[in-house]
Amino acid sequence: MNKPAAKHASVGNCEECHKLFEYVLVHNGVQNSSYTYCGGCGKTAILDISDARFPVELVKQSAYRAIAPGIEQHLNLCECGGKFMAGTWPRCPHCREPLSPIKAAAYIERHAPSKAANWRWQGNWTGNYCIVIEGSEIRNNFK
């Protein structure tokens, strides 16, 4: 079953070209998923842990966070021709530069997904939260 990434989008800005973009945060623990980004365009691939094609031997290292190396070979290429790989970052939809997880804290914390006053952004693109930029997402992109 596909679950929606979020109910509403927030607005971020690229630290390179300074253009605005909409984004949503996805908590992969809540979604029972793992994720990765396309190395070419930055599209987010969300992979359900319960999908039978998810490599069983890599579930423990990938559950509720960015994929572990080795899952790449089980994923299709992105429609842009790029690869979904471990260690990739989301990209600005305008200039395609990678987005800094440290600089993203300014807009992510301003639009904090939690009502808790002490919630802080994880500061990386490998933890529980991933970001979907301008709705650019694919679900269960397994071969």
Mean pLDDT over each residue of the chain, to the nearest integer = 92
Give me the pLDDT at residue 112, please: 79
Taking the C-alpha atoms of residue 53 and residue 56, their distance in angstroms, rounded to an integer, is 8
Residue 1 resides in a domain: no
Q: With H, G, I as helix, E, B as strand and everything else as coil, classify residue 7.
A: coil
Mean pLDDT of 38-43: 97
Structure letter (DSSP) for residue 74: G
Give me the pLDDT at residue 117, please: 72
E strand or H helix at 131, and its extent? Answer: strand 129-133
Residue 5 resides in a domain: no
Structural domain of 14: 10-139
Residue 98 resides in a domain: yes
Residue linked to tokens 């471990």: 86
Residue 24 resides in a domain: yes
Residue 3 resides in a domain: no
Q: How many domains is the chain partitioned into structurally? A: 1
Q: What is the pLDDT of residues 79-128, one digit of tens each?
A: 999 999 999 999 999 999 999 999 999 999 988 766 667 889 999 999 99
pTM of the prediction?
A: 0.91
Residue 125 resides in a domain: yes
